[in-house]
Amino acid sequence: MKVDLTVEPLNSWIDTSGKPLIIAGPCSAETEEQVVETVRQLKALNAVHVIRAGVWKPRTRPGSFEGMGEAALPWLQTAKAETGLPIAVEVATPEHIELALKYDIDVLWVGARTTVNPFNVQEIADALRGVDVPVLIKNPVNPDLALWVGAFERIAGAGITKLAAIHRGFATGETSKYRNVPMWQMAIELKSIFPSLPIIGDPSHMAGKRAYLNELSQMAMDLNYDGLIVESHIDPDKAWSDAAQQLTPTAFGEMLDHLEIRQVDSPNREFQTFMEQSRRSIDNVDRQMVEMLAARMALVERLAEYKRDNNVTLFQPERWKEILQTRTETGKKLGLYPELVEEIYKIIHMESIRKQTEIMNNSTQNA
């Protein structure tokens, strides 16, 4: 178990009047007019707290638009002076940090392609030592929780306390309707390691297409995320990067209006009683599940000893096939996804094999 980070709450650096933090802006700063006009329109929605804009764009392949660099920073200053909205940019090197701070950028974020590399993250952390600036850290491109955790430990280790995670989904190699598979459980696990860390959903980079922004934003809100970061551009189809996933500020405002933000809790007595009863029932079922697992494992152990004493091989593929098939079928009849039952049984089976191997090896030692 990791030690929780020292994290200041979001409202220590941004006032959202108790609402989820909304960060919006173009994927990339392209021209002064595009930046200033997008920010103007976002400001008019009266719902955006921070502006985002990519100035240095780490692209997976060369040849794509790699950002305007330092030239774009004065445009962001202009947009900020006009609207009063704080500005966030992505930084990937100590030089980016130096320039961002020189041009009064208010919030920095570490991109998914940087979080994957502990050398880069450490260089960024070293450059941030002694600086008091909010830093948002995107999940690494690949679903490796330890890289994300490590990035927080490095940046927090440099003394940064205004921290938040951005969950932008993962490249898993599997085909999905989304550009990056959300794998919501990864963000939930991060939160259980660092309970005080705010989590911001990035539906844009999860979706890859604007049609999915709504459902992904709603999901993040339903999971009680602390905010959203969404790409918005005055003319999305002509955007120089991530065109398919950007929304006009007007469309973004409409999406926000339709988001349902549910309460975390309700003061209603009836609701509280129902919650308590349900949780007790769930605790009860969970205890039974764990007891059943232990009972199953005891049977496996007895069988393994018997196999050992009769010189029978440990792993019998036919039996495993039958287990998988019958268990998923039973699950299906009870309304459970076959994939769920299959995944659970894969874990149970792995543990049975481990236990059985242990028993077999014991015999060799004892022989």
State the nearest-atom distance from the C-beta of 230 to ligand PEP, in Å: 10
53 lies in the binding site for ligand PEP (CB under 6 A): no
State the nearest-atom distance from the C-beta of 153 to ligand PEP, in Å: 20
Number of neighbouring beta carbons within 10 Å of residue 316 = 11
242 lies in the binding site for Mn ion (CB under 5 A): yes
Retrieve residue 352's tokens.
């049975």
State the nearest-atom distance from the C-beta of 366 to ligand PEP, in Å: 54
Binding mask 123-162 for ligand PEP (x = CB under 6 A): ---------------x------------------------
In the list ligand PEP, Mn ion, none, the entry touching 87 (Cβ below 5 to 8 angstroms by class) is none
168 lies in the binding site for ligand PEP (CB under 6 A): yes
25 lies in the binding site for ligand PEP (CB under 6 A): no
Nearer to ligand PEP by Cβ, of 41 and 204: the residue is 204
76 lies in the binding site for ligand PEP (CB under 6 A): no
In the list ligand PEP, Mn ion, none, the entry touching 111 (Cβ below 5 to 8 angstroms by class) is ligand PEP
Q: List, in sequence order, every residue forming a beta bridge with 229; answer none if it has no partner.
A: 23
Please select the residue that binds ligand PEP; options are 29, 91, 92, 112, rule is CB under 6 A.
Answer: 112
Please select the residue that binds ligand PEP; options are 25, 54, 201, 253, rule is CB under 6 A.
Answer: 54
| Integer Rg of the chain from CA | 25
Binding mask 19-38 for Mn ion (x = CB under 5 A): --------x-----------
Where on the chain is the footprint of Mn ion (CB under 5 A)? 27, 242
Where on the chain is the footprint of ligand PEP (CB under 6 A)? 27, 54, 111-113, 138, 168, 205
